[in-house]
Structure 1
Amino acid sequence: MNLYFVRHGETEYNKSNFYYGKSDVSINEMGFVQAKKACEMLKNVNFNRAYISEMKRTKQTAKIILGEKKCDIIKDCRLNERNFGEFEGKDYDKIKKLYPENWKAFCEDWKDAVPPGGESFTQFYLKVKDFMDNILKINEDNILIVTHSGIIKSVYCYILDNNLDFFWKFSSKNGDITLIKYEYGNMYIDSISHV
């Protein structure tokens, strides 16, 4: 089985370095360019199905990638980016100023600290793990998964024996395509392509 993970195209929030996960924003002009490049790179792949998060930025990206291809698009809340609660829509400096204690805890315990009204990384990761456990039960050749940076980097952790510390060892840029293969009970990262 081939799992093609694609990070959604760029948004204005990406350019501003805001924390945002549950904020439902559209891709910008560069995001459309990135999605079209991903479409070109994946033009010869016949997808059996596609999964996206509930956010419009993943839907927009997936529709561009799929173009005229006939493929069911399935929304899955487990593919939503991490909920940063009251940190959403703010940059680092503003968060440090408005929530100094929460920011300190967030920096000291990145796995288990919970932003006000949000979720911890551990809570977030368990949803990703559940999605991956289920996707491996599907018998398909090619699956497209358009999602977010946090999800993709968490999938890398999943592949690397659920070691969450690997989260910070990878980049995931807007439009990136990661091919993950699952063969004979073994999962591995085959390639990571920048658009």
Structure 2
Amino acid sequence: MEVYLVRHGETDWNAQGKLQGREDLPLNGNGKRQAMACGVALSEAGFTAIYSSPLKRALETAGELALYHPCGVTPDPALTERDYGKLSGLTKDQRVAWEARGLPSGKEHWQALAGRAMAAVDRRASEHGENSRIAMVSHGAWINAVLAVLSRHEIGTGKTQLKNTCISVIRREGKERR
């Protein structure tokens, strides 16, 4: 089984370097072009299912993939981006200043994010046969958490920068993760 982890296209906040978290922002013009190009690039993938975060930017990106596959898009709240609490909407410099003051952020703990993300991957992968190929359209922190867990922190959170509409492919044989 192959699982394609696809990050959504660009939003205005991505372009401005702002942390989005669970803010429900749409793709900007560049993001729409990225999503269309991603759909074309994966047009021959033969997805048996496409799952998406319910946030607009992910759903719009997943919709472009679905143009080439008969399965449609299934929204899955477990694919929603990390909740950044009060850090949402801030630039990197603003976040550093906030955290330097020791103010509480209300940010979702990484372990909770990673647990939620891996449970979603495991659940969706187990619903499909060994020869299936599925897409999961989500967000940078969510995908990085999956990559960190699977690589035992060789890549992923804190180490890997995921560009908009990047594609990470993971393979699962039987019940084991690889």
Shared fold, TM over 0.5: yes
Question: Among residues 133, 136, 139, which one is paired with 1:145 in the alignment?
Answer: 136
Identify unmatched segments of 5+ residues in structure 1: 104-114, 189-195
The one-letter code matched in structure 1 to 2:105 is P
**Cα deviation code 1:117-152 (max 9, x no counterpart):** 331222222211221232332223110111101111
Q: CA deviation at 1:166?
A: 4.7
> Which range moved further: 22-31 or 90-99?
90-99
For the residue of structure 2 that corresponds to 1:50, the secondary structure is: strand
Answer yes or no: is 1:78 the counterpart of 2:67.
no
Q: CA deviation at 1:185?
A: 4.4
Question: What value does the CA root-mean-square deviation take over the aligned residues?
Answer: 2.1
Q: Report the count of equivalent residues.
A: 176
Identify unmatched segments of 5+ residues in structure 2: none
Match of 1:181?
Answer: 171
Q: How does 1:52-131 map to 2 (within 5 A)?
A: 52-97=52-97, 100-102=100-102, 115-131=104-120
Match of 1:49?
Answer: 49
For the residue of structure 1 that corresponds to 2:3, the secondary structure is: strand
The one-letter code matched in structure 2 to 1:151 is W
Answer yes or no: is 1:3 the counterpart of 2:3.
yes
Match of 1:23?
Answer: 23
Q: CA deviation at 1:13?
A: 0.5
Q: 1:165 to 1:142 in 2, by over 3 A?
A: closer
For the residue of structure 2 that corresponds to 1:70, the secondary structure is: coil
Q: 1:7 to 1:91 in 2, by over 3 A?
A: same
Q: CA deviation at 1:21?
A: 0.9
The one-letter code matched in structure 1 to 2:164 is N
Q: 1:157 to 1:101 in 2, by over 3 A?
A: same
Contact 1:52–1:79 (CA<8 Å) still a contact in 2? yes
Match of 1:14?
Answer: 14
So what's the TM-score if we normalise by structure 2? Answer: 0.87
CA distance in 1, matches of 2:68, 2:54: 22
Q: 1:166 to 1:12 in 2, by over 3 A?
A: closer
